[in-house]
Amino acid sequence: MRGGRRLPLAAALVFLAGCGDKNAAAPPPVRPVLSLVVAPTLGRTVSFAGSIEPRYSAVLGFRVLGRMIARDANVGDVVSKGALLAALDPASLEFAVRSALAAVANAQAQLANASATEARQRTLLEQNNTAQAQFDTARLGRETAEAAVTQAQASLNKAQEQLGYAQLQADFDGVITAVDAEVGQVVSPGQKVMTLARPDVREAIVDVPDDLATSLADGARFEVASELDPSIKTTGRVREIAPQADAATRTRRLRIALENPPQTFRLGAIVTATLESGATPHIELPASAILDADGKTSVWIVDPVANTVSLHALTIAARSGGSVQVAEGLAQGSRVVTAGVHSLTSGQLVRVLDGDPR
């Protein structure tokens, strides 16, 4: 009886041991992953339409209030330094000059009278026929008259200067690129009347996407060609990048300094600016493949034999939108996981999905 009871118990223990071995031998689940094979990317060419504009231009306006009675320049006119461009009605300014002239004459007459009075008082004082106080009063009157003459002369100079402001003249040799006031219009001081530009220093103006402008290096080189005749072209370097993107278009304006621009590149001409982006082969990865953790930048590499993943550190050269450019740390032909990089572990079994680049 005792032996018969022990046999079922032993059989049960053997059965349970067999089940434990099966559970321990069960392989871990294989995770499917998205991936791609690393290959150098050749340079891509991007082009943008733009226009030729002057680097130096000035907005011209009158310094005094008045009604414009003449405009001798139109858009496109080439003018020389000092040329008369427009004029205001000088009547009120001429009245101010005549009034200032009269004030100067009156002050000079007062000075002559005060000087004569001082001379008489000095003679009387020398003869002891007047008091010192009376002589001091006469001298003070002469000094006051001299100050009045100086003040009147300054007012006259100011009135004459303002009379000169009734004429608008060119500050330098250039071409008129805009006109904003017409004859008969009353203009206020500083109001824009016309724009004068220097045609000798020209540059190309283009608008580029914000992410491209961010990745551009200082002095990036563009090839600038005429829109009408692409065979007419020159080169240029980025001189200025707008610090902020346009709120509506999300583009930033570039100013490209041209090197020996052709004569056909006149102000306002339409051009095409072409940038050779990445002229040398380089490696690009989607931003989703990058794992930034513990101060390191890494990617998961798939072992094609063991079908496992391992973490490899690398150096990023540039980040632009949804992609990154690798500087070093990644070999050509490596298979990189491109999604779910935060949930993988080193040595984990994976399965490359069908349709992934090979």
In whole angstroms, give the CA distance from residue 74 to residue 174: 12
How confident is the model at residue 281, as a pLDDT?
67
How confident is the model at residue 31, as a pLDDT?
86
Per this entry, what is the length of the chain?
358
How confident is the model at residue 28, as a pLDDT?
66
How confident is the model at residue 18, as a pLDDT?
53
Indicate yes or no: pTM above 0.75.
no
The CATH number of domain 57-88+167-197, selected from 3.40.50.10490, 2.60.120.10, 2.40.50.100, 1.10.10.10:
2.40.50.100
* 8 A C-beta contact, residue 191 and residue 181: yes
Three-state SS letters, 35-95: EEECCCECCEEEEEEEEEEECCEEEECCCCCEEEEEECCCCCCEECCCCEEEEECCHHHHH
In whole angstroms, give the CA distance from residue 338 to residue 350: 13
In Å, the largest CA–CA distance within the chain is 169
* Helix, strand, coil share of the chain (percent; to 5): 30, 35, 35
The CATH number of domain 91-164, selected from 3.30.1660, 1.10.10, 1.10.287, 1.20.950:
1.10.287
Q: What is 31-43+282-352's CATH topology?
A: 2.40.420
Q: Which CATH number is associated with domain 45-54+199-277?
A: 2.40.30.170
Each residue of 302-350: pLDDT tens digit?
988 888 999 989 888 777 667 888 888 888 889 999 988 888 888 889 8
* 8 A C-beta contact, residue 257 and residue 237: yes
Q: What is the pLDDT along the chain (358 residues), one digit of tens a residue?
A: 444 444 455 455 445 455 555 455 556 678 888 888 888 775 557 789 999 999 999 999 999 999 999 999 999 899 999 999 999 999 999 999 999 999 999 999 999 999 999 999 999 988 888 889 998 999 999 999 999 999 999 999 999 999 999 999 999 999 999 999 999 999 999 999 999 999 889 999 999 988 788 878 778 889 999 998 989 999 999 999 999 988 898 899 999 999 889 988 988 899 999 986 544 567 888 888 899 888 889 999 998 888 899 998 988 877 766 788 888 888 888 999 998 888 888 888 988 886 565 5
In whole angstroms, give the CA distance from residue 234 to residue 300: 45
Half-sphere exposure of 272 (CA within 13 A, CB side): 12
Return the residue matching tokens 């989703």: 288
In whole angstroms, give the CA distance from residue 206 to residue 282: 26
126-134 long-range contacts (CB < 8 A, ≥24 apart) are none
How confident is the model at residue 2, as a pLDDT?
47
Half-sphere exposure of 92 (CA within 13 A, CB side): 10
Domains of the chain by residue range: 31-43+282-352, 45-54+199-277, 57-88+167-197, 91-164
How confident is the model at residue 3, as a pLDDT?
46
Each residue of 73-95: pLDDT tens digit?
999 899 999 999 999 999 999 99
Return the residue matching tokens 């030729």: 52
How confident is the model at residue 47, as a pLDDT?
86
